[in-house]
């Protein structure tokens, strides 16, 4: 190392290190300044990471997830359940008003049996559905939904909560999604109004829901995922934006799709 280089190196040490030539007060100020600069860089990095890097990763995954979803649809087993509307007492809570299979009718004329299509449940982490919301620009082309709401699952943007009904099936199908990070598919969910359309495409076909309820709840309000009569889709996301303090919940009812008619009769 030449003498000039050594001098330059020492000058750098003085500028960045303990600043021995300065008094105690100035040294504290000097170190505080550097600490604030490091904190600023760290915070700026955090903001850039959350807003852009996570979304970049989630968007990069979308084409791969789309292929995975199409493969999943090809391998999905679809079974048909015969549902015979029953003419028993509708006020009896123990009587669901339907029976499955070829028996169960007690009326004078046997009601026409209906077919409920049921798809096999997807594997955890697998892309199996596409959600489209025409009113939200980001979701007009659709966003892939994976099975599961683990942290790793939600790095793809949106996930279906296991143990809730699949989209297009009777009950309450819950899909959770990021609002400000990881693709932010549900960023504009608060733009929805009652009556707006939500489409979910699965191996069975396209299920169309109409928004009925918009709620803001606590993150611990698990009741929003409870089963419901009929076929419902519940979308949940963080609220307000850039905060995990609450949850924005959109509840939508199935109005059209492969199973809409039979579920309406069942209800």
Binding residues for other proteins (CB under 8 A): 9, 12-13, 16, 45-46, 49-50, 53-54, 149, 151, 154-155, 159, 161, 174, 176-182, 186, 217, 219-222, 224-225, 235-238, 242-244, 247-249
CB of 141 to other proteins, least distance (A): 21
Residues 6+ apart with CB under 8 A from 3: none
CB of 53 to other proteins, least distance (A): 7
Cα torsion for 66, 68, 69, 75, to the nearest 10°? 150
Q: Give the separation between CA 114 and CA 101, rounded to whole angstroms.
A: 10
Q: Which is nearer to other proteins, 6 or 95 (CB)?
A: 6
Q: Which is nearer to other proteins, 198 or 262 (CB)?
A: 198
Coil, strand or helix at 267 = coil
What is the H or E stretch that residue 166 is in?
none
Q: Which is nearer to other proteins, 115 or 216 (CB)?
A: 216
Q: Which is nearer to other proteins, 169 or 184 (CB)?
A: 184
CB of 111 to other proteins, least distance (A): 38
Strands, sheet with 78-85, edge to edge from the N-terminal-most edge strand: 98-100, 78-85, 114-119
CB of 15 to other proteins, least distance (A): 10
Burial class (CB in 10 A: 0-12, 13-18, 19+), 46: exposed
User: Cβ distance 264 to 212 under 8 Å?
Assistant: no
CB of 189 to other proteins, least distance (A): 9
Q: Which is nearer to other proteins, 157 or 168 (CB)?
A: 157
């Amino acid at each position: 190392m030449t003498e000039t280089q050594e001098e330059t190196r020492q000058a750098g040490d003085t500028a960045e290190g303990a600043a021995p030539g300065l008094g105690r007060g100035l040294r504290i100020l000097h170190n505080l300044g550097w600490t604030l600069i490091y904190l600023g860089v760290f915070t700026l990095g955090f903001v850039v990471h959350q807003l852009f890097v996570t979304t970049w990763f989630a968007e990069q995954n979308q084409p791969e997830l789309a292929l995975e979803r199409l493969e999943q649809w090809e391998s999905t087993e679809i079974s048909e359940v015969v549902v015979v509307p029953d003419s028993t007492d509708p006020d009896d809570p123990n009587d669901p008003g339907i029976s499955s299979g070829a028996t169960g009718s007690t009326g004078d004329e046997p009601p026409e049996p209906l077919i409920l299509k049921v798809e096999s449940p997807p594997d955890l982490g697998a892309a199996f559905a596409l959600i489209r919301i025409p009113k939200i620009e980001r979701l007009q082309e659709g966003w892939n939904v994976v099975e599961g709401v683990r942290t790793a699952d939600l790095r793809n943007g949106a996930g279906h909560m296991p143990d809730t009904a699949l989209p297009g099936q009777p009950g309450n199908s819950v899909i959770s999604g990021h609002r400000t990070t990881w693709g932010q598919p549900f960023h504009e969910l608060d733009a929805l109004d009652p009556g707006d359309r939500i489409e979910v495409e699965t191996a069975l076909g396209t299920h169309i829901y109409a928004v009925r309820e918009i709620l803001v709840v606590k993150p611990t309000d698990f009741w929003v995922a409870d089963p419901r009569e009929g076929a419902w889709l519940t979308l949940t996301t963080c609220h307000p934006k850039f905060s995990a303090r609450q949850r924005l919940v959109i509840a939508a009812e199935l109005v059209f799709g492969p199973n809409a008619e039979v579920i309406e009769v069942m209800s």
